[in-house]
Structure 1
Amino acid sequence: MGGIMTSSAEVPTRTDVLIVGAGPAGLALAASLRQLSVDHVLIDRTTSVQPGSKAAAVQPRTLEYLDRIGVADALVKIGVRSPGFSLHDCEKTLLRASFTDLDTPFPFVLLVSQQTTEECLLDRLLDLGGTVHRDHRFIDFTDDFPGVSATVAGPDGVLRAISARYLVGCDGVRSGVRANAGIEFPGTARESRFTIADIRLSTVAEELIAQDTTFFLSGAGMLLFSPLADGQYRVVSPAPPGMSEPTQHDVQMLLAERGPLSGQATVTEVVRASTYRVQERVAETFRKGPVFLVGDAAHTHSPAGAQGMNTGIQDAGNLAWKLHTVLTGAAGNELLDSYHAERHPIATAMVGFTATFAKLASVRDPLGARLRNDVLAAAAGTLGVTDWIAAKLSELDVSYAQGPAGRLRIGDRVPPTAVPGSDLTWTLATPDLQEIQGLPADVTVRHIPGLDTALLVRPDGYLAASGAPTELLTHLPIA
């Protein structure tokens, strides 16, 4: 894989889109823009893809988007397909949400390191002819109507100016782009820290053999356990006081105290480990003039539920086609306002959901824990609850529609099983075979018998309009 690729080319002084940060969100945005032939520059302060990253789960909705940009197949070949999500109280299963019946081409959680995800995204970007200008630090920017002039420090320390129509901060929780734009990042930082470790085991307790992503709840604290590729396992848990970088003994104790009580899981190697402080924050706005925030620069949260990286990649998918549409003159600048309007509520809800889940998992007193477990067990037996949880965790429930759910609404996700995706083009799905006049070249027409009406699907897979095919043409942004 192309993990250490660094561009030797001089950074251009002008571009349509300057992307700061080559993590999963920045790479997904760059690959999307490259696929759409949008001129852009991607810079990152590191010299290579970094090991030891936090995310290790790619959700079905994210895989659907990655499939549109040609990354999903390579990633799926490497990762471990997890069929569901389980909550355990030691040996007892309290609740299990299966992904196998989800309406998606990817009915599983793909367990794979963030490093591997970034490498696959980078390989795709390079295949498309793109690059990452590594060892380049974003310093600041000034307004330069109608865009910005950004100052960047190269590997030689020399400051260079890049003029860009749009600036996108994909530069993480400590985003320099966000700070320079003066965008507030309200929320809280927890006093406690989380530990994360990728390990190898010599023997595995029966409760751990299943490929589910499993949360163990105990009086000592929560522990997440999931398999990874190459015979490794991921362990995430609140760090006991005084623990910094967990040792083999530390991880062994966490498994013994917080995992299943029966059987034994013997840790033979800690491949990588770290601790970090959890923050729960959402940026005040995801757009300020020509500046946009994507991924951790826009939102950060508890690792419970494995949502963060996935939400960031979907931010990128939402923004990419809109930048392309505006830059080609097919729509006015106001289309870009819909990025904040659509993604900010999703991020806010996601942070609230993961915070609630983390609090639920962190109940320590015996009476409260017993009550929680009874409620979870009762919920597991209630019709529709585990399906709702599966849809929530998989992010297949993400919708920009207004009003009560029911029939497919404008802004709802259109399942690729119903209308197959078409790269990053618009898709016009019709129930009847008919020739449609006046279609632009970047619209794919699909004949799908059984549809009640024709559907116009956005490049990111959401419904733009429905009705008669000729009427749908009026909803297409055409340059």
Structure 2
Amino acid sequence: MASVLISGAGPIGLTMANELTRYGIPVRIVDKEPQRTDKSKALVLWSRTLELLEHGGYVEPFLKAGMQGHGVQISDGTNIVASARLDIMDTPYPYALLIAQSETERVLEECLAKRGVKVERRVTMESFAEKGAGIEALLRKADGSSETVQADWLLGCDGAHSTTRHGLGFAFEGSTMDSDWVLADIHVTGLDPQDHLHIFWHRDGILAFFPITPGRWRVIGDLGPATGNGHRADPTLEEIQALIAHRGNAGIKASDPIWLSAFRINERKVKEYSRGRIFLSGDAAHIHSPAGGQGMNTGMQDAFNLSWKLNLVINGIAKPSLLDSYSVERSAVGDMVLRNAGAMTEAAITRNPLVQKLRNTIVKFALGFPQIGHIVADTMSELNIGYPVSPLTVAGSPHAHGVKPGTRWPESLPTDTNKSLFAAIGPADAVADLAKKFPKLVEAAAASKHADPRDLVLVRPDGYVGFAGAASDRAGAEAYLRGIAA
């Protein structure tokens, strides 16, 4: 069977390795670092990511390790401007799962070890070249020795300074925001409710609190326009407490810092996520503002998107052209996340008093409407992500009555977690016929409360509607599957 080399063992590389390994595909995963991160870093697993982890059969250890966040409260330091509930979402996971990245990586690495794969640490992929129908890569080990390895596919999950991206010569287009920020992983008292994200829109800048575990919080604040080109010194506990006292509520006290850091926000992205047998995922392909906490989730969903397609192609079930859809779909999502996160950041850090007043008024008014609250929650949780424009998104003729192709299917499907199967939903005879004609690609799903009985729907292995047409359009569904099947 074809082999896959994964460069980078952060959350994205570990997710990719877990997904491919559960399909039975041989992987090697290497990372230059001696151990996984001990920092909290990316803090949130959103609902859509949890749904995909559930589909893979390994969501439970994350739920045990994390803390549920049920809402967002925005204040100006004196009055509550607005609040948003997360329990209104239509998902088995109507909350933000607050979990330190160190814990996310631990769970992923332990799951991978149970599948028989160990991360090769202190191993750096120094270079690679495409050789015929595969990849040749040079690995450098901790003792200085090198190894030349052959692989059929290379997945670059190697972060913002990606060797894979540099080797491909892909431009990482974008900019660094002209503002300094501070971060503190710290213990805090005086914040309630403790299962909410707390955001303070002060006239002098934003101050945000994200719960990690009971009593432990991530604190982020912007310090205004950057001065000079050098890296700002990391803050002290006293400086963080002074910022809290100035922008937050009286009575909020910080102590026992775990991690203090200064940073600047980069917003960059490649145009294409792949070339030939080489693919980019996560920070290697896109980095953006931490507003909304969507960076790691977007990268992990890159991995979910690519892995099922690789499985079908490697096993000869689907045409290689199926992989062309990865860059099309995930690049569009990356563009959307960049826009949303950038807009949220700009709105939060404005220093113009008139703009601040207008922002607060608009947000308070808008979040007073349940429909808008739903949109905000679904955007943050990535439940509204879809693939309306994709080679894999097809509307049958006549069109479906109850569902749009390209959208997330709103319920779990009982598919075999060791296979990449499309779920056929519709009249029993029609779905049985499709499963019989495409036994390695399709399974007949039970009737669904979300399906209109007049429709015939094909749901992709990652839970998005690929084909949606009228029940009479069996020919359209067959043509869709024949376009994929090898």
TM-score (norm 1): 0.90
Note if 1:281 corresponds to 2:268: yes
C-alpha contact (below 8 Å) 1:194/1:275 kept by paired residues: yes
CA distance in 2, matches of 1:222, 1:421: 44
Per the alignment, residue 347 of structure 2 pairs with 360
| Superposition deviation, residue 368 in structure 1 | 2.2
Question: Take 1:154 and 1:474, find their aligned partners in 2: how far apart are those partners?
Answer: 49
Q: Which residue pairs with 2:35 in the alignment?
A: 48
Where does residue 340 of structure 1 map in the other structure?
327
2:374 to 359, 364, 387: 387
Secondary structure of 1:384's partner?
A: helix
Partner residue in 2 for 1:212: 196
- Structure 1 residue 446 and structure 2 residue 445: aligned? yes
Question: Matched residues in 1 for 2:464 and 2:456: separation?
Answer: 14
Deviations 1:56-79 (A, max 9, x none): 011101111111223321111121
Q: Which residue of 2 aligns with 1:457?
A: 459
Match of 2:239 among 250, 254, 279: 250
Q: 1:406 to 1:397 in 2, by over 3 A?
A: farther
SS in 1 for 2:264: strand
Identity %: 33
Shifted more, 139-148 versus 343-352: the winner is 139-148
Other structure's SS at 1:110 match: strand
Deviation, 1:254, is 2.0
3-state DSSP of counterpart to 2:178:
strand
SS at match of 1:370: helix
Contact 2:456–2:468 (CA<8 Å) still a contact in 1?
Answer: yes
Matching residue's letter, 2:467: A
Matched, 1:411 2:395: no
2:146 is the alignment partner of 1:159? yes
Q: Which amino acid aligns with 2:439?
A: P
- Contact persistence 2:317–2:440 (CA under 8 A): no
Q: Distance in 1 between matches of 2:370 and 2:85?
A: 14
The CA RMSD over aligned residues, in Å, is: 2.5
Check conservation: 1:228, 1:234, Cα contact below 8 A.
yes
Choose 390-399 or 140-149, whichever is displaced more.
140-149
Task: Determine whether 1:73 maps to 2:60.
Answer: yes
Cα distance change of structure 1 residues 45 and 425 upon mapping to structure 2, 3 Å threshold: same
CA gap of 1:70–1:258, structure 2 versus 1, over 3 A, is: farther
SS in 1 for 2:265: strand
Shift of 1:96: 2.2
CA distance in 1, matches of 2:91, 2:134: 39
Counterpart contact for 1:55–1:113, Cα < 8 Å: yes
Moved more, 352-361 or 125-134: 125-134
2:12 corresponds to 1:17: no
Structure 1 CA distance, aligned partners of 2:339 and 2:428?
46
1:445 maps to amino acid? A
Q: Are 1:426 and 2:421 counterparts?
A: yes
Displacement after TM superposition at 1:382 (Å): 4.1
Mark the CA change 1:399 to 1:305 in structure 2 (over 3 Å): closer, same or farther.
same
Which residue in the other structure is 2:219 paired with?
235
Contact 1:50 1:115 in 2 (8 A): yes
Number of the residue aligned with 1:60? 47
1:304 shift after superposition: 0.7
State the aligned residue count. Answer: 460
Residue in 2 aligned with 1:98?
85
Runs of at least 5 residues in structure 2 that lack an aligned partner in the other structure: none
Task: From the superposition, tell whether residues 300 and 421 of structure 1 become closer, same or farther in structure 2 (CA, over 3 Å).
Answer: farther
Take 2:277 and 2:70, find their aligned partners in 1: how far apart are those partners? 41
CA distance in 1: counterparts of 2:100 and 2:130, whole angstroms: 38
Q: SS in structure 2 opposite 1:46?
A: coil
What does residue 305 of structure 1 align with? 292
**Among 100, 103, 110, which residue is 2:97 paired with?**
110
Structure 1 residue 381 displacement after superposition = 2.7
Change (3 A) 1:147 1:239: farther
Distance 1:65 1:448, change over 3 A: same
Note the alpha carbon deviations across 1:81-130, whole angstroms, 9 max, x for none. 11122322224222322221211111100011011111111111111122
CA deviation after TM superposition for structure 1 residue 383, in Å: 5.4
Letter in 2 for 1:47: P
Gap change, CA 1:380 and 1:245, over 3 Å in 2 = same
Alignment partner of 1:306: what SS? coil
3-state SS of the aligned residue for 2:205?
Answer: coil
3-state SS of the aligned residue for 1:122? helix
2:72 match: 85
Structure-2 separation of matches of 1:429 and 1:457: 7
How does the TM-score come out when normalised to structure 2?
0.88
When structure 1 is superposed on structure 2, of 444-453 and 215-224 the one drifting more is 444-453
CA contact (8 A) 1:24 1:313 kept: yes
2:360 corresponds to: 373
Residue correspondence of structure 1 range 130-279 to structure 2 within 5 A: 130-201=117-188, 203-205=189-191, 208-239=192-223, 244-260=233-249, 263-279=250-266
CA distance in 2, matches of 1:427, 1:65: 15
Kept in 1, the 8 Å contact 2:18–2:111? The answer is: yes
Q: 8 Å contact 1:89–1:217 — kept in the other structure?
A: yes
Structure 1 residue 470 displacement after superposition: 6.3
